[in-house]
Amino acid sequence: MKVTTLGFDADDTLWENERFFKLTEERFTELLIDFAEPYHLREKLLAAERRNLKVYGFGIKGFTLSMVETAIEVTDERVPARVIEQILSAGREMHAHPVETLPFVRETLEQLAPDYRMVLITKGDLFDQERKLAASGLGELFDAIEIVSDKTAETYSRIFSEAGESPENAMMVGNSLKSDIVPAIAAGSWGVHIPHDLTWALEHADEPAKAKQYRRLNNVGEVPALLRQIM
């Protein structure tokens, strides 16, 4: 089946994202250094994030509330209001972080856009994703923008059926095996994994190494060559 639609993940595929979470987490660790060991604190925070995903979904707001909950927990409810304020402030600052596109992204999207239906598929806070897309200046290269609450096989099936002829004519490119690759392949599409040095612990999954429609590339710049090779 000919690939006519390209789906791109945004965070840590087109631009840096996890780096800002890691920096905030370091700041959080320093704020609570008198109350908890860094390792213990990170474990507690991850548990809170996992628990809260079902309530708040993906994104900075849920992450901020998870930091507040963790601070209350590790201090046995004695966390100073000053520390809570600093956590909230760190969360607010994340909503203003600069958008740094990753190497090869702009030129590759410009090269592909005339020949493919281009769809950006991202999850997280709607407002924050819209801000980042606007700041990236990449918006006009996409035919459709999909900001979703989660990425499942059904999500890809729906989006690629609307956008292209069928999921079989689509290729999803992203840094998360769990969100971008495994469910896209399950929907019948190609899944092209571009690993990023920093990937959130909750985004890990086993590599679908045996799937015929799975490929791993080093960067977005290698996508055009892959498309030529599989056509």
Residues that bind Mg ion (CB under 5 A): 9, 11-12, 175-176
Residue 41 or 146 having the CB closest to Mg ion: 146
> What is the C-alpha to C-alpha distance for residues 80 and 87, in angstroms, rounded to an integer?
11
The minimum distance between CB 99 and Mg ion, in angstroms, equals: 14
The minimum distance between CB 6 and Mg ion, in angstroms, equals: 15
> What is the C-alpha to C-alpha distance for residues 107 and 190, in angstroms, rounded to an integer?
22
The minimum distance between CB 12 and Mg ion, in angstroms, equals: 4
* Burial zone of 32 (CB within 10 Å; 0-12 exposed, 13-18 middle, 19+ buried): buried
Residue 44 or 151 having the CB closest to Mg ion: 151
Residue 9 or 25 having the CB closest to Mg ion: 9
DSSP string, 113-126: TTTSEEEEEEES-H
Residue 21 or 35 having the CB closest to Mg ion: 21
Residue 70 or 129 having the CB closest to Mg ion: 129
The minimum distance between CB 170 and Mg ion, in angstroms, equals: 17
At residue 174, what are phi and psi to the nearest 5 degrees? -170, 170
The minimum distance between CB 199 and Mg ion, in angstroms, equals: 8
> What is the C-alpha to C-alpha distance for residues 118 and 54, in angstroms, rounded to an integer?
30
Residue 9 or 49 having the CB closest to Mg ion: 9
Residue 11 or 32 having the CB closest to Mg ion: 11
The minimum distance between CB 84 and Mg ion, in angstroms, equals: 29
Contact 139, 102 (CB under 8 A): no
Contact 160, 169 (CB under 8 A): yes
Greatest Cα pair distance, the chain, in angstroms, is 61
The minimum distance between CB 15 and Mg ion, in angstroms, equals: 9
Contact 131, 95 (CB under 8 A): yes
> What is the C-alpha to C-alpha distance for residues 196 and 201, in angstroms, rounded to an integer?
12
Contacts of 155 (CB under 8 A, 6+ apart): 121, 148, 183
